[in-house]
Amino acid sequence: MSMHLQDWFYLNPWGLWLTAVVLALVIELLQRDRRGLACAGACAVGAVVAALAPGVWWLPVVAALVALGTAWALLRPVHA
């Protein structure tokens, strides 16, 4: 029995979050303004939470949003 990629991502949501980490890092390489790095960090937090709590779909989303808000608050540019 073969498994489609969509079925694999449904059974392993952390893989979807790691894919988002890679995409965010590519965006960071293209733009260099640290927003992509903040998104990659937030997606990494989402991946860890999804691996620890695989049955709760909303918990990694909330954790990633909190991590993203925190990263953007800490990494915002300071104008003199």
CA distances from 34 to 49, 50, 73 (A): 23, 24, 12
Per DSSP, 55 falls in state T
Are 67 and 42 in contact by the 8 Å Cβ rule? The answer is yes
Using DSSP's 3-state secondary structure scheme, residue 35 falls into helix
Q: Helical H runs in the chain? A: 5-11, 13-31, 35-52, 58-74
Per-residue pLDDT of the chain (80 residues; tens, 9 = 90+): 688 888 888 889 999 999 999 999 999 999 988 889 999 999 999 999 999 998 899 999 999 999 999 999 988 776 65
Tokens read off for 14 = 């952390």
